[in-house]
Structure 1
């Protein structure tokens, strides 16, 4: 590829990010939220109220005004791959966050929220703005590809909304604020104790494997038994194995010892080929109590069969009631404004006769127009579009407000969970894009993603490298009860700084894959 073509692709990649990230109006919104909070004009309670307005008013209207015009029945064949890719990205993000949580200490009030921060990305204004800018220029086809890209992003938005609200992903944020608070030192001490236990278990496994290797690897040259004294109390059978390079002596437990101890000792001390009771090498060793005897003793103390059946029936009833409770909880969560908006929007979008009531120019429909020449319910769509316009500015203002409450002196940076913060930023903006490219390329290779659909391929790869959703700021402010989101803000700042470089690289590399 010539340097001119590479420069063109790089400019196409940088242009939407300049319009999105370096836009003075967007930075002004964040600055306004930061400034009014520092001036004491936007207290925490007010920030919490703005978060409720965003979740229950502006976000549902944004979903409705985006999904209805951009999605239609002709996109239904791509619905499966889009949903699958969205779920895979979410599971990868949650897994990376869980690993980070095991390796690095995380504030107690963010112990569950870090899973949401890793699994739910900023699917909304960021990818839509980038996709619209890229699709408007060659080598894409302008308006048609713009609408197609938005419709594909709407599917990711649906998966994002359904998993966060009806399926209970937001409850992880709520769980962070249950129970008493813990100091950071106590959290670090618990994590250190957990690491010590894991290392001790790994060491035990290593020793066990080494013991098995030593028993199975060298050939045994000689075996004999003898009776010796153990601590001067009683005679104890003793078996001696003579190897080429070592001599191993195993003491056989007495019959009074427990079956579990005898079985464990024999299995770990005697090589498998000497466990055969018919082996002539062990004819001089008296066998211990049989395992079946112990099994009979256990079975005689477990109670009559009727009591076991009763316990099973009670367990089944418990799980049935639990399933019913979860089902009703899921149905209740579907009635929340964001979830209900998503469901209604997709139903309207895929039924042409319903869509034509809101959007003009729907093929195959003949809906009489209103006196102004617009669809009968176009006023509802215009109102939703108007309200949704407040979603992004209000979100940026509350983000600036949350950042303003992150007051940590420079000489106390070590008090922050720097390991978890840096790992989450690298995981979301470096590791996940690499995995996203590999997954999408493999899906294209096997035919799950149409190789000729460059818009679909671009959207799938683009959405693998997004930072954490700013919606988490609103959720944290709502569930904290104080309107604060200090921990989350510390995790968001590095991601949105790295996004300048990472999304430029992802967009440029994706265009190189598609058209290079």
Structure 2
């Protein structure tokens, strides 16, 4: 049993080291000592050298045939967290207005957390001291973290998660006022459907109840009168002249029935208007039902996107083959990144005793030693451990640099921000997700999928539920925007990283109390 004071100190200590490294990144960036080009170069060193070395140096000695069964629960939990985050982002998008250039980014912000530098720093600090077993548990924890990193990299890049960020910058821009108005109409339609559903439920309930003959006759008479009045109103509206009522005039730029316009112009206008309304409400066309007139087949063919396949086009088959090949090449390129390859190659080495004996001593497996008495490739493991030690501090410094470049809203700009979406995604990621993470991991432990005796595995699985949005999205947004800016993302990241210090302290203290 750990005392309350000790528990609080164990939970806060890793965050102090994290704050120090992140603060150094913020200071040197604000002092213009660490410019964007240098930060980008450091990020490349981190992704292509230090992080692969760290993963390889921890996976090889940590995994064996005895604990390889932990990979299944780790991958399952990682996929569950990403799926829950994607659902969270989608729900926020449906209930609150989100900037048009962040309509898909909100889903990425919910689904993919910062699985690299932050959890590695905190978990290494916590498992490296009591009540854990020190260096042994620390090495095992980093090996478990590699499963989350592998799932993150595979889902973000080979399987196309990063394309959602790119989709934000396709098509025409839509003003925030238009997006807010579309969301207001969408909420109004949702409330109307809910009221209608509730009234239908009440009417069905009344039908099941016994009704005396006199009340039934009065109800039928009232329904007949309402129906007759409604028919009369419809007939009256049918004879209204739109030309006499100036308040019913069509908006500027829309053809009225008296104006002459070719069928081609009307068809194109209707199609563009329908697409714009659908885009404004996030792809949900249930609010606006804009009728579209028939369009000439030739015009419809010309209106197809460049990436669409037209069966009548003789080149469609070759175009489709080209796109398939390009997708496969992109998939393989992302799959064979240095970090992915280091993790993928480390697992067979760790699980095959003859290969593992080349790097570390394996009981029961003979391997000729080097002149210093160590395994033949022990020097390679030492080198990767040495280089990998720079991964965590370098990653935290780059994180601080990224946060320092985010633009904080000014005093008068807060009213124009999507405060509802910002608040909900922050609370969902940093408060709701940790609660669900504890429940999920405890449920998997109770059914035997997660070993109750593997405290490191349980701690890692629970801790990964409290991660803020990945800062990799900042880089992706800057690349795909074409302007190098990530203005919409910054206001969603900052509240999460502020709440992170509270939620991580709480989840660490609770998990240690739960395990010990």
TM-score, with structure 1 as normaliser: 0.72
Which string of whole-angstrom CA distances, capped at 9 and with x for unpartnered residues, describes residues 410-445 of structure 1? 221222222222211111111011111111122222
Aligned counterpart for 2:111 among listed residues 101, 110, 119: 119
- The alignment status of 1:219 with 2:219, answered yes or no, reads no
- The alignment status of 1:156 with 2:148, answered yes or no, reads yes
**Would the alpha carbon gap of residues 458 and 59 (structure 1) be closer, same or farther in structure 2, given more than 3 Å must change?**
closer
The offset of 1:483, in angstroms, is 2.7
Question: Distance in 1 between the 2:217 and 2:7 partners?
Answer: 69
**Partner residue of 2:198?**
206
- The alignment status of 1:173 with 2:173, answered yes or no, reads no
Structure (1 or 2) with the greater strand fraction: 1
Aligned counterpart for 1:242 among listed residues 216, 234, 257: 216
Q: Is the 8 A contact 1:334 1:340 kept in 2?
A: yes
**Partner residue of 1:461?**
462
**Partner residue of 2:353?**
352
Q: Is the 8 A contact 2:54 2:391 kept in 1?
A: no
**Would the alpha carbon gap of residues 140 and 386 (structure 1) be closer, same or farther in structure 2, given more than 3 Å must change?**
closer
Q: Is the 8 A contact 2:39 2:401 kept in 1?
A: no
Question: Distance in 2 between the 1:178 and 1:383 partners?
Answer: 45
SS at match of 2:29: helix
Between 381-390 and 79-88, report the one with greater CA deviation: 381-390
SS at match of 2:465: coil
Question: Distance in 1 between the 2:384 and 2:196 partners?
Answer: 62
Which string of whole-angstrom CA distances, capped at 9 and with x for unpartnered residues, describes residues 366-395 of structure 1? 444445555544555455555552575266
Map 1:6-21 → 2, pairs under 5 A: 6-21=4-19
**Would the alpha carbon gap of residues 439 and 402 (structure 1) be closer, same or farther in structure 2, given more than 3 Å must change?**
closer
Aligned counterpart for 1:32 among listed residues 13, 28, 36: 28
**Would the alpha carbon gap of residues 380 and 186 (structure 1) be closer, same or farther in structure 2, given more than 3 Å must change?**
farther
Question: Distance in 1 between the 2:107 and 2:68 partners?
Answer: 31
Question: Distance in 2 between the 1:397 and 1:323 partners?
Answer: 35
**Would the alpha carbon gap of residues 163 and 146 (structure 1) be closer, same or farther in structure 2, given more than 3 Å must change?**
same
**Would the alpha carbon gap of residues 481 and 436 (structure 1) be closer, same or farther in structure 2, given more than 3 Å must change?**
same
**Partner residue of 2:278?**
none
Which string of whole-angstrom CA distances, capped at 9 and with x for unpartnered residues, describes residues 174-208 of structure 1? 22222233222222222222222222222332333
Q: Is the 8 A contact 2:357 2:375 kept in 1?
A: yes
**Would the alpha carbon gap of residues 197 and 244 (structure 1) be closer, same or farther in structure 2, given more than 3 Å must change?**
closer
The offset of 1:470, in angstroms, is 1.9
Which string of whole-angstrom CA distances, capped at 9 and with x for unpartnered residues, describes residues 27-55 of structure 1? 11122223328xxx835x77666655655
Between 181-190 and 506-515, report the one with greater CA deviation: 181-190
**Partner residue of 2:184?**
192
Question: Distance in 1 between the 2:211 and 2:155 partners?
Answer: 58
Question: Distance in 1 between the 2:357 and 2:30 partners?
Answer: 43
- Which runs of no fewer than 5 residues in structure 1 stay unpaired? 223-240, 254-310, 312-316
Q: Is the 8 A contact 2:434 2:507 kept in 1?
A: yes
**Partner residue of 1:272?**
none
**Would the alpha carbon gap of residues 243 and 76 (structure 1) be closer, same or farther in structure 2, given more than 3 Å must change?**
farther
Map 1:318-467 → 2, pairs under 5 A: 330-331=331-332, 333-357=334-358, 359-371=359-371, 375-378=375-378, 380-381=380-381, 384-385=384-385, 388=388, 389=390, 392-393=393-394, 396-397=397-398, 399-401=400-402, 403-406=404-407, 408-467=409-468
**Would the alpha carbon gap of residues 379 and 168 (structure 1) be closer, same or farther in structure 2, given more than 3 Å must change?**
farther
Which string of whole-angstrom CA distances, capped at 9 and with x for unpartnered residues, describes residues 222-272 of structure 1? 8xxxxxxxxxxxxxxxxxx93587656569x9xxxxxxxxxxxxxxxxxxx
Question: Distance in 2 between the 1:484 and 1:364 partners?
Answer: 57
- The alignment status of 1:134 with 2:126, answered yes or no, reads yes
Question: Distance in 2 between the 1:106 and 1:31 partners?
Answer: 32
Map 1:51-66 → 2, pairs under 5 A: 54-56=46-48, 58-66=50-58
Q: Is the 8 A contact 1:29 1:393 kept in 2?
A: no
The offset of 1:489, in angstroms, is 2.3
Q: Is the 8 A contact 1:173 1:479 kept in 2?
A: yes
Instruction: Give the total of aligned pairs.
Output: 424
**Would the alpha carbon gap of residues 112 and 353 (structure 1) be closer, same or farther in structure 2, given more than 3 Å must change?**
farther
Which string of whole-angstrom CA distances, capped at 9 and with x for unpartnered residues, describes residues 433-474 of structure 1? 111111112222222222222222222111111112222222
Between 457-466 and 175-184, report the one with greater CA deviation: 175-184
Question: Distance in 1 between the 2:469 and 2:66 partners?
Answer: 31
Q: Is the 8 A contact 2:42 2:398 kept in 1?
A: no
**Partner residue of 1:495?**
496
Question: Distance in 1 between the 2:476 and 2:382 partners?
Answer: 28
Which string of whole-angstrom CA distances, capped at 9 and with x for unpartnered residues, describes residues 54-77 of structure 1? 555554444444433433333212
Question: Distance in 1 between the 2:417 and 2:126 partners?
Answer: 38
- Which runs of no fewer than 5 residues in structure 2 stay unpaired? 228-310, 312-316
Question: Distance in 1 between the 2:362 and 2:26 partners?
Answer: 39
Return the index of the structure with the highest Cα Rg.
1
SS at match of 1:464: helix
TM-score, with structure 2 as normaliser: 0.72
Question: Distance in 2 between the 1:468 and 1:511 partners?
Answer: 24
Between 361-370 and 186-195, report the one with greater CA deviation: 361-370
